[in-house]
Chains A and B, each alone.
Chain A
Amino acid sequence: MAGLTKKDAVLTAYAEKLETLDAPQGRSLSQDAFRRLSANRAAMVSIFVLGFIILAALIGPFFVPWDGGTVDWGSIRKPPDFSKGHYFGTDQNGRDLLARLLQGTQMSLMVAGVATLVSVFIGVIYGAVSGYFGGRVDAMMMRFVDIMYALPYILFVIILVVIFGRSPVLLFVGIGALEWLTMARIVRGQTLSLKEKEFVEAARAGGAKPWTIITRHIVPNLTGPVVIYATLTVPEIIITESFLSYLGLGVQEPLTSLGTLISNGTPVAEVMPWLLVFPAIVLVSMLMCLTYIGDGLRDALDPKDH
């Protein structure tokens, strides 16, 4: 759910600043911001921790003795036991929790990644088209965005889930298809202001095709906001996916995600606390890191003293 990272405010402010600068100035604004970010200790630590978690999720499964699907009949519902290689314990089906956790994290990250890509893609195209054509087309397209903004997107996600069944691919796409709004607004703003700029006029007068104009002038100014958007969108998507999985509407067995793990762990937490504690720690850590990073980015791009 948006609002965790207030990405809308951050991005719009940043994008507005970029609009007034041309590409080289825009780049130096981004560099300044990057320097400020590196000075922010909380953000840097968060980046490090997050990086570690991501890395663990990606290559961890190769190092852990068990895999998430195998049942160890001898160790069902057991707390962490180093001798058997079950570092985080096992679940009700005898599967190793650490392995499942890594898998689940992978899945959550994948959903977040794909959905972000989809939303960036849709957002950029929608925004660029709207901004480029301007006028009535733009007004209509943006009105649509405003409307979508006002509505609770969880409901639509659930509708999509209902329609398209429980295929994870559609889950990614569905979530992404609803997250593109902010990106679209920003890209449109950039396109609109760039359209008016002299160097674009000059390029057009020189006979350059719209495509060239877009790639050479609009896109470079977009990399900053896109990166930030991606960073800030990912936690939202992770929460959304976890939320859906928790309700049973998201990732299905035998695949797992952080949401499913927590959903499994909650009812039995009294007797098997490790089933809840470990996934919860991972989820909360990721979200905390992303929050700090989001805050850091916001401060870096729009420095104000508290």
Chain B
Amino acid sequence: MLGYAFRRVLSALPIALIAVTVAFFILRLAPGGPFDGERALPPDVLANLRAHYNLDQPIWMQYFIYVKGVVTGDLGPSMVVEDFTVSQLIAIGLPFTLMLGLTAFVSATAIGMLAGVVAAVNQNKWPDYALVLVVMLGVVIPNFLMGGLLQLVFGVYLKWLPAGGWVNGSLPHLVLPVTVLAWPHAARISRLMRGSMIEVLGTNFIRTAKSKGIGERLMLTRHALKPALIPVVSYLGPGLSYLLTGSLVVENIFGLPGIGKYFVTAALNRDYGLVLGTTIFYVALILVLNLLVDLVYAWLDPRVRFH
């Protein structure tokens, strides 16, 4: 298992490197970028940038310095928010985004899996049909629309929950954002889980398990669950990516203090430093999370380890 983990980490490094390299070149070459001369940046910022990016050094040297910086956590200065580096801005917004994302991820995955299993075991009876309806809504209504609608219904008309904003530690303020973020994810997971569970329940080894008289509960939890989880877990990797991008929207709709808000604002203001720095961060985050997912996958299906 350890060997597998190590191998996976190694294979993730090139991706990270490529992301950083691409960011490097975009920073240098993109039109409207800081070095274009077209943009009238305040002289202080320009001076800052020049110093920071070591423009007097040969390009390969700049590259090394940049990579080294990234690895040590220095993602460069923001180009619009003066006196703040990208890393600082990320640090400010990160805790919240992580909390939001993890809450949504955990609840969506748990609810999705449970719903999927229930639907599979009760195929074509009412729990199954109810699930299909809920899934359909989650999948078809884009998150920005869902956010708006839920805000309207629960925040404005019913006044049950706050329509936005954030007060530290306030649970009600989390409910709507987490729901909007989690719903599509839960929907997809439950669909996957249902399909996968139905397939597993039809396999020969489940027939063997039944023939041994161990009872339905053990059959489901010990024999069916692990194999059924495999396609679901494969989805978790991409699923995390979507949660991430979803959080961009959700944080903007509900006015929440996470990285997403900074990111979009930066994009609107063409703050390359912040946009690219944040992207690198996101990429790193996704790589790490994908790695964790792969490890879980290997635990579920031992055949994968003996690659």
Contacts and interface: CB of A to CB of B under 8 A. Distances in A.
A155 B284 CA distance: 13
A239 interface: yes
B136 A155 contact: no
Interface in B135-150: 136, 139-145, 148-149
Contacts of A306: 123-124, 198
Nearest to A8: B238
B214 interface: no
Contacts of A198: none
Contacts of B19: 151
A287 B136 CA distance: 10
Interface residues of A, number: 40
Contacts of A239: 142
Interface stretch (A25-33, A180-188, A213-221, A242-250): A242-250
Contacts of B14: 147
Given A155-B282, A262-B148, A306-B123, A291 B26 contact: no
Interface residues of B, number: 52
Given A1-B242, A151-B286, A306-B123, A276 B252 contact: no
A221 B50 CA distance: 54
Give the one of A2, A246, A284, A288 with max B CB within 10 A.
A246
A202 interface: no
Contact of B32 (A4, A154, A163, A247): A163
A306 B124 CA distance: 9
A263 B148 CA distance: 9
Contacts of A247: 248-249, 252, 264, 267-268
A246 B238 contact: no
Chain A contact surface mostly: helix
Interface of B: 14-15, 18-19, 26, 30-33, 123-124, 136, 139-145, 148-149, 151-152, 156, 188, 198, 235, 237-239, 241-242, 244-245, 248-249, 252-253, 263-264, 267-268, 270, 272, 275-276, 279, 282-283, 286-287, 290
Interface of A: 1-4, 147, 150-152, 154-156, 158-159, 161-165, 239, 242-243, 246-249, 259, 262-263, 265-266, 269-270, 276, 280, 283-284, 287-288, 291, 306
17 contacts: A1-B242, A3-B238, A147-B18, A152-B241, A152-B244, A152-B286, A161-B267, A162-B267, A242-B142, A246-B144, A247-B264, A262-B145, A262-B148, A266-B151, A270-B152, A284-B140, A288-B140
